[in-house]
């Protein structure tokens, strides 16, 4: 349903991202004003010319109800704009904007998202994402849930501690070239990673994503408009998202059927995939996703270091899209897959396929 054969050609034409361990020099409003204007300037478009704006953020993350109202200031929403917001990762806001462009009444869209996980305690915050009657009163933290998932994978022989450490190593090495990576190391040692004590068994610190504050802005444009904004637009060839059951005991946590389904619907075609940016909270989850997407050695995974290197809740998914898009725009790559996840243990997943001409 979401393969874009019959759909309007829509591309990412410019991106701006910033992640850092703790945002202190500016607040989210100033950060986003900077990123949004950089992103618009790079495409050569003013807010008045943008047909639709959509953002993703979370009140629980910010510790304030209606937190997204403040960042509307960052856009410069006067004269008034056609605008909407999802309380989800910005990747889903991008999906909403892509849908809007499909209708045909507007040709450009601005998408942004941000998060400041350093302000609160991520393990407490994410525990409130769970079934409020049966599960969240037990306060199962996100790392424990991810650890349960990793334990199931290990016990079934689907992954090994060595494979997990390889993923961590890949993230840290790749991240060393990424100014937004908060955890990276050019010469990280496999032995050190293997010998790290478990934080939440079997997960070691390097198996768990490193939290970062930050944000991301992306401009989408359709058809000829895209070509006027960018020499080599990153065309969205397919985009889809699906959700699995919430009840943790009701699904096989060693798999992510929604990731598989979203990839199928988006039409990933792993024969021609240069890059994959996949969004997981742990090395074990990256291994699940690689399997669901059936990635092979032709594809370089998480060249940016991935969310393991720098994980901004609510923006990490959009940032994965921006990482693939920017490499296509610059000519470094031709075709890539970007993925975003939401919910415990890969419950909800979005897959986007991008390609340059």
Partner 1 sequence: MSAELTAVLGVGQTKYSSTRGDVSIAGLCREAAYRALEDACLDWKEIDAVVIGKAPDFFEGVMMPELYLAEALGAVGKPILRVHTAGSVGGSTALVAASLIQSRVHEKVLTIGFEKQSESNATWALSLPQPFSVSINAGAGGYFSPIIRQYMSRSGAPELIGCMVAFKDRQHALKNPFAHLHQNDLTFEEVVDSPMLWNPIRYSETCPSSDGACAMVLGNEASGDRAENQVAWVHGTAMRSESNNFPGRDEVNPLASRQCAADVFRQAGITNPLKEIDAVEIYVPFSWYEPMWLESLGFAELDQGWRMVEDGTTSLSGGELPVNCSGGVLSSNPIGASGMIRFAEAALQVRGMAGDHQVDGAKKSFGHAYGGGAQYFAMWIVGAEKP
Partner 2 sequence: MTDPNSPPASLSQEVEIPESISGLEPVRSVRSPIRLVYDFVPSPPVQEYLRSYSTKKILGHRSPIDGAVFVPPRGVDPRHGVLIEESVELSDKGHVGNFCVTHLPIPGRDDLDTPYVSAWIHLDGASVGFLGLVAGCENDEVHIGMRVQAVWKEDEELGNTAENILYWKPTGEPAVPIEKAGNRAWGQTNE
Rounded distance, CA 55 to CA 36, Å? 11
Rounded distance, CA 116 to CA 4, Å? 34
The correct pick among 21, 60, 123, 144 for binding partner 1 (CB under 8 A) is 60
The correct pick among 49, 105, 155, 201 for binding partner 1 (CB under 8 A) is 105
Residue partners of 200: CB distance under 8 A and separation at least 6: 143, 144, 146, 147, 208
Contact in structure between 159 and 282 (CB atoms under 8 Å): no
Rounded distance, CA 288 to CA 152, Å? 12
What angle in degrees, to the nearest 10, is found between the helix axes of 28-43 and 68-75?
40
Pick the closer one to partner 2 by CB: 76 or 267.
76
Give Cα 115 distance to the centre of its chain.
12
Q: Name the minimum Å distance from CB 124 to partner 2.
A: 5
Q: Tokens at residue 305, please?
A: 């270091």
80 binds partner 1 (CB under 8 A): yes
Q: Name the minimum Å distance from CB 261 to partner 1.
A: 6
| End-to-end Cα spacing for the chain | 23
Q: Which of 66, 69, 59, 355 is nearest to 236 (CA)?
A: 355
Pick the closer one to partner 1 by CB: 133 or 187.
133
103 binds, among partner 2, partner 1, none (CB under 5 to 8 A by kind): partner 1
5 binds, among partner 1, partner 2, none (CB under 5 to 8 A by kind): none
47 binds, among partner 1, partner 2, none (CB under 5 to 8 A by kind): partner 2
Residue partners of 54: CB distance under 8 A and separation at least 6: 83, 84, 85, 86, 93, 94, 96, 97, 100, 109, 110, 111
DSSP labels, 123-142: HHHHHTTS-TTTTGGG---H
99 binds partner 1 (CB under 8 A): yes
Q: Name the minimum Å distance from CB 133 to partner 1.
A: 6
DSSP labels, 227-291: HHH-SS-EEEEEEEEEE--S-GGGS-TT--HHHHHHHHHHT--GGG--EEE---SBHHHHHHHHH
96 binds partner 1 (CB under 8 A): yes
37 binds, among partner 1, partner 2, none (CB under 5 to 8 A by kind): partner 2
Residues 121-140 that bind partner 1 (CB under 8 A): 125-126, 128-133, 136
The correct pick among 1, 5, 48, 157 for binding partner 1 (CB under 8 A) is 1
β-strands 83-86, 52-56: how paired? parallel
Q: Which of 208, 206, 201, 209 is nearest to 148 (CA)?
A: 201
Q: Tokens at residue 83, please?
A: 């605008």
Q: Which residues bind partner 2 (CB under 8 A)?
A: 24-27, 29-30, 33-34, 36-37, 47, 60, 63, 70, 72-79, 118-121, 124-125, 128, 132-133, 136-137
86 binds partner 1 (CB under 8 A): yes
Mark the segment that binds partner 1 (CB under 8 A) among 85-93, 110-118, 195-203, 283-291: 85-93
Q: Name the minimum Å distance from CB 32 to partner 2.
A: 8
Pick the closer one to partner 1 by CB: 72 or 154.
72
Rounded distance, CA 98 to CA 92, Å? 10
Mark the segment that binds partner 1 (CB under 8 A) among 70-78, 162-170, 225-233, 276-284: 70-78
The correct pick among 48, 78, 138, 191 for binding partner 1 (CB under 8 A) is 78
240 binds partner 1 (CB under 8 A): yes
Q: Is 330 helix (H, G, I), strand (E, B) or coil?
A: coil
**Count of Cβ atoms closer than 10 Å to residue 186 Cβ:** 10
Q: Name the minimum Å distance from CB 138 to partner 1.
A: 14
Residues that bind partner 1 (CB under 8 A): 1-2, 6-8, 58-60, 63-66, 68-69, 72-73, 77-88, 92, 95-96, 99-100, 102-105, 125-126, 128-133, 136, 240-247, 250, 257-258, 261, 342-344, 347-348
């Amino acid at each position: 349903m979401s393969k874009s054969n019959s759909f309007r050609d829509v591309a990412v034409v410019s991106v701006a991202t910033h992640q850092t361990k703790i945002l202190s020099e500016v607040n989210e409003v100033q950060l986003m004003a900077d990123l949004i204007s950089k992103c618009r300037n790079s495409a050569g478009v003013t807010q008045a010319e943008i047909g639709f704006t959509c953002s993703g953020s979370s009140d629980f993350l910010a510790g304030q109800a209606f937190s997204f109202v403040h960042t509307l200031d960052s856009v410069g929403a006067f004269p008034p704009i056609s605008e909407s917001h999802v309380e989800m990762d910005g990747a889903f806001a991008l999906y909403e904007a892509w849908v809007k462009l499909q209708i045909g009444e507007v040709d450009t869209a601005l998408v942004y998202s941000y998060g400041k996980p350093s302000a609160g305690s991520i393990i407490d915050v994410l525990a409130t994402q769970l079934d409020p009657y049966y599960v969240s009163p037990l306060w199962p933290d996100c790392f424990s849930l991810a650890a349960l998932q990793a334990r199931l994978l290990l016990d079934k022989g689907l992954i090994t501690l060595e494979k997990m450490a390889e993923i961590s190593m890949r993230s840290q090495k790749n991240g060393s070239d990424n100014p937004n990576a908060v955890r990276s190391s050019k010469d990280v040692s496999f032995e050190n990673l293997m010998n790290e004590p478990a934080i939440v068994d079997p997960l070691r610190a390097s198996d768990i994503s490193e939290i970062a504050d930050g944000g991301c802005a992306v401009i989408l444009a359709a058809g000829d408009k895209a070509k006027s904004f960018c020499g080599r637009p990153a065309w969205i060839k397919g985009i889809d998202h699906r959700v699995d059951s919430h009840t943790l005991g009701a699904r096989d946590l060693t798999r992510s059927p929604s990731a598989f389904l979203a990839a199928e619907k988006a039409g990933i075609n792993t024969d021609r995939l240069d890059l994959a940016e996949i969004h997981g909270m742990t090395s074990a989850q990256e291994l699940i996703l690689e399997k669901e997407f059936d990635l092979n050695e032709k594809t370089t995974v998480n060249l940016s270091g991935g969310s393991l290197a720098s994980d901004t809740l609510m923006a990490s998914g959009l940032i994965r899209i921006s990482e693939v898009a920017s490499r296509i725009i610059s000519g470094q790559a031709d075709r890539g897959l970007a993925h975003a996840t939401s919910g415990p243990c890969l419950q909800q997943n979005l897959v986007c396929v991008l390609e340059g001409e």
